Each structure stands twice: as structure tokens, then as C-alpha cells.
Amino acid sequence: MAQFPASAYSFSSAAGTFTPLSGGTALTFSSLDDGTVQDVPIGFTFEFCGVPYTEVSICTNGWISFGNVSLTSTSNSTGSAIYPAIMPLWDDISGQSGVVSHLTSGTPGSQVFTVEWLNWTWYYKNTTPIPIVISFQAKLYEATGRIEYVYRQEADPINGSPSATIGIMKSSTDYQTLSNSTATPTASSTTFTTSINTKPANGQLYRWDPPPPCPGILPITVSNYNSTAVDFGWGTATGAVGYEWAVDTNPDKGPAGTTTINTATTTTASQAGLTPATRYYIHVRSKCSAVSYSKWDTASFETRPDCAKPGRIMVGYIDSNSVSFQWPAIPVAVSYEYLVDQTRGTPAVGAAAIGQSGTAVSLTGLTEGALYYVHYRSLCAGDDSSAWALDSFRIPVPCRRPVLKLVELGPNNSIISWDPVYTATAYEYLVSTADTTPAYGTRLLQNALQTPFLTSATTYNVFVRCNCEYYNVDTKSAWAQLKFTTPFATGISNVPGSEAALAVYPNPTSGYINVSIPGTVNKGNITIADMTG
């Protein structure tokens, strides 16, 4: 409801007439000295400080509490927890010769609830006859919320040391009390007066009127909402200096006691951090002054289902400069966004993400050996989006076949080498006279190969391939092939049985040769051929 403090009431005084009740209901107290009757019906709903009440507790000591209290409280002070209460004459007073009665009069909507203390003693005195000092009434007006006290002096003087309080009180710190009981007292919300000791004049009226009602807002409208946030607005309230709003799961008119109340000077607001698929209530009221608020207006909405973050990507194809991948579809998503870069951090707001309706992506022009990050998220109805999902892939470096070089070749031997291949951890080779690509070869760790025991003047095929490992992925290159023919043998072996008959040196040679034949030679031929025969 539109609550406000007791200090917001406006006070006035006037001259009137005390008219004793006729047809009222007399209350029965356990003691007319110090007694309280609870649950007395008002007869209509009366708002005190903006809070509705239908019953009161009435005490012989000159006060009415809107709480269901059993206190008798002769000691008028802020420490006495009779509040919220009204006090037409709070003191140690007594009704030993009087009566307390109440009456609800008037037509619905304009009814008046009157409580009357008739022929009361002030201050308490246990004598005979009992002095009759004062009569007074407290009135509650249904139509206006006015609180009114009216008094009549009785014949006997005040007894003892009176110290009364006249006023209204919402709490121990929120009240208004009168400075005296004259025709023009001052109402204070900072000084709690307990020193009134003179009778108000006959027909004296003291009145408290609630502040003018603060106009309510126009209907609340939800402009946008998703799984975790809502944007909403309301109409301008004439005379409002600001607004208060809250969002919670409380369906009542007004936020729950633990809900954070927000302030606004415009008619729009947003709330984030909500739970998906949950019914929420928006509460808004206008503020007309520091103590004047309208009643809460409430509207409801339900957040959308969770706009879930997609799962891990699945790479369908990848090579040295391209890749294709996709992620699992999210049922509530209407589209997706993705960004592929080499930065692990979450994309900044406004980053150049690519939107698409499907979950498959194909990319080309990538750098071999580079690590790429994939940032991707779901886009759902209501301008909703999931958190960014993060995955990655690395473009592989191909296992390239080696480039073979013939370093040395002889009739019976060859030496073949190649430059080391990046990512190669070993090699395989096969030396064969066949020209058929092998299925496998002999493992080799170095990047050179010597092939002894060859046959001269024979054509050979040398096959070599790389065994690679790159980020725990093992691959093999294609076979590299080198073909060569061994030369004829150029050395001369001794003829068995005639070791001393012929000597040829140096052997082999590239410049000159000596042939020595010891002994006598009748005739013979020497033929010299180069390596090709």
C-alpha cells in the first residue's frame, strides 16, 4: 500500500462541540484503572500511515492501538510499544466513574468510528467520591483518513501530577505530539511531549489529516524480456517527483520485504540477473514527496527458457589451410554468432562476429601450424543470447615427403641424403631394383642413407618417406623416389695363380695409370675404359 510516516500528517485545531455518544457499545475492562480491550472492530477499513486496519485495541489510559496489544501502558513514552497508535489523552487516567464506548456511524464510504471516554478521572485518585475531570472522543473518518479528538471539561479539577501526551505515533521514532492543550498548540515530530497538565477547552478539536494522495502510474508495459533480463516502462504520474520499482517473485501488491527497492526519475527501467523460465512480478509506484507515495502497481511476465550455450565443436575436415566444423544445435536458438581469431579472451562488445542461422562453418586461407580460437553463442527470441562458448583447433603442418639427393655413387655403393623435414621424427626407406612403390620400409632415424653391396651396372630405385608427429597426431608422407644406375667396376683383381703377373695403379684413377708386368712378355693388349664402360 501507499505507506507514509506519521510526520507526514498535517495538523490543525478548531473549536467544535462535544456530543456524547448515543447508542454506542460499552466496553468491559478487567480494570477501569488500567485495562485494555483487544480486537474492537472499526466497522470499515481505515488506513493509518497508509496501512489498512479493521480492528483496534482500546486502553483506559487514553490511547488506541492499531496493533493487537494487551499492554495498559500508563507511562507515556516512545519506549512503550503500543504503536502504531493514536493518543487523545495518554496518561495514568482512570474510568472508575465512567465508561468507554464505541460507535460506527454514517453510510459506507463516509463512515465515522468514534471511541468515547466519558466522565474520566485525571490523574488517577483512589478516593470517594471519585473525581470526574474530563470526557473526550477520538474519531476516525473513512472517507478522508482524518483523525480527530474532541474534549469536554468536567466539574472536578485534575488530580496529582498529570503529564499527558496528545498526538499520533507510528513508531518510537515516527510521531507527532502537541506542545500543549491550548487552542493553538504546535505539533512536533522531533519532540515527544509528556507534560500536558491542563484540560483542553470545551469542544476543542485537534485534527490530523493524511497527505494528499500521490497519483498512481499508468499500466506497466513490458517492452522486451529474455531468459535473464527484462525492459519495462510505465506512464508518467502527474505531480510525481520520481518513482520506485522492484522485480521479484512476490505476486502480492508490492515487493517482498527482502526485495531491493530501486529509484528512478524516468519511466523506464531494466532488471538483469533473472532465472530462466520463471514467473516474475514488476512493482512500481510514484513518489510525490519525501513522505508521499502512491500505491504499488504490479504486472507479471515469465522469462523465456534458458538460451543455452552451445556444446563443443566437431571438426569434420581440416588441412594445412582450411577447416570445416559445426556445433550441436540449441532447440530454443533462432540463430548463432561466431568469431574465429587467435585471441583466447571473450570477444568485446560490438566485436565483428558473424551471424548465421545454422551451426556449420567452413573456413579457408588459414595458416598452417597456427592455433585458432572459436567463440560462438546462441541467439534466442527477445534479443536474448547465451554466454560465449570457447573451443579451438590447430591447423596441421603437412607431413611432406623428403627431397632426395645422390651424394655419392660407386659400382657397389651409394650415399643418399635429404634435408630434415619439419615434424618428421623418423624415416622409412627401401632400396629395390623394382619400380613399384612399397607398402612399408625400414625405419631410419637420420636424414641420410648408405647402400652397400650393390651390383655394378645395375638400375636401382630408392624410396624414402617421413614418419611425422604434430601435436600427438601421427602421419606419414608420400614416398619420395630416386632412381640411379651403378657404374661398371673399375678395379682389376689379380688372376688366381698369377698374383705377380700384373699390377695396375692407382686404381681407380682420374688422371693417369701405371701398368707393370714383371718378366718377359711376348705380346698382349691393354684396354682402358671409363666408368661408363
Per-residue pLDDT of 467-504, as tens digits, reads 999 998 899 999 999 999 999 876 555 555 555 567 77
pLDDT confidence of residue 135: 98
CATH at 357: 2.60.40.10
Percent of the chain predicted with pLDDT > 90: 75
Last residue of a domain, one of 394, 427, 456: 394
Closest CA to 478 of 384, 370, 399: 399
In terms of domains, do 390 and 418 share one?
no
By DSSP bridging, strand 112-120 and strand 134-141 are antiparallel
In terms of domains, do 38 and 160 share one?
yes
Question: 218 pLDDT band (50/70/90 cuts)?
Answer: confident
Q: Which three cell numbers stand for residue 411?
A: 659400382
Model confidence pLDDT, tens digit, residues 61-101: 999 999 888 888 777 888 788 999 999 999 989 998 899 99
Model confidence pLDDT, tens digit, residues 138-184: 999 999 999 999 999 999 999 888 999 999 999 999 999 999 999 99
In terms of domains, do 54 and 198 share one?
yes
CA angle 68, 69, 74 (to 5 degrees): 145
Question: Is 501 inside a domain boundary?
Answer: no
Domain enclosing residue 49, as ranges: 6-209
Judge whether residue 292 has pLDDT over 90: no
Closest CA to 232 of 240, 241, 243: 243
Cα separations in angstroms, 489 against 136, 415, 499, 533: 145, 17, 19, 9
In terms of domains, do 110 and 160 share one?
yes
Model confidence pLDDT, tens digit, residues 385-398: 999 999 999 999 99
pLDDT confidence of residue 78: 83
pLDDT confidence of residue 35: 92
Question: Is 247 inside a domain boundary?
Answer: yes
In terms of domains, do 289 and 412 share one?
no
Task: Name the more confident of 34 and 167.
Answer: 167
Round to whole Å and give the CA distance between 360 and 352: 18
Judge whether residue 457 has pLDDT over 60: yes
Round to whole Å and give the CA distance between 301 and 122: 59
Question: Is 512 inside a domain boundary?
Answer: no
pTM given for the model: 0.53
In terms of domains, do 204 and 225 share one?
no
Question: 1 pLDDT band (50/70/90 cuts)?
Answer: very low
In terms of domains, do 57 and 195 share one?
yes
Question: 2 pLDDT band (50/70/90 cuts)?
Answer: low
Question: 305 pLDDT band (50/70/90 cuts)?
Answer: very high
Task: Over range 500-518, report the average pLDDT.
Answer: 75
Last residue of a domain, one of 272, 302, 332: 302
Task: Name the more confident of 253 and 98.
Answer: 98
Model confidence pLDDT, tens digit, residues 104-113: 999 999 999 9
Question: 383 pLDDT band (50/70/90 cuts)?
Answer: confident
Last residue of a domain, one of 302, 327, 355: 302
In terms of domains, do 161 and 140 share one?
yes
Helix (H, G, I), strand (E, B) or coil at 43: strand
In terms of domains, do 434 and 474 share one?
yes
Question: 458 pLDDT band (50/70/90 cuts)?
Answer: very high
In terms of domains, do 118 and 256 share one?
no
In terms of domains, do 96 and 182 share one?
yes
Question: 114 pLDDT band (50/70/90 cuts)?
Answer: very high
Question: Is 227 inside a domain boundary?
Answer: yes
Look at the chain and report how many structural domains it folds into.
4
In terms of domains, do 38 and 176 share one?
yes
Question: Is 173 inside a domain boundary?
Answer: yes
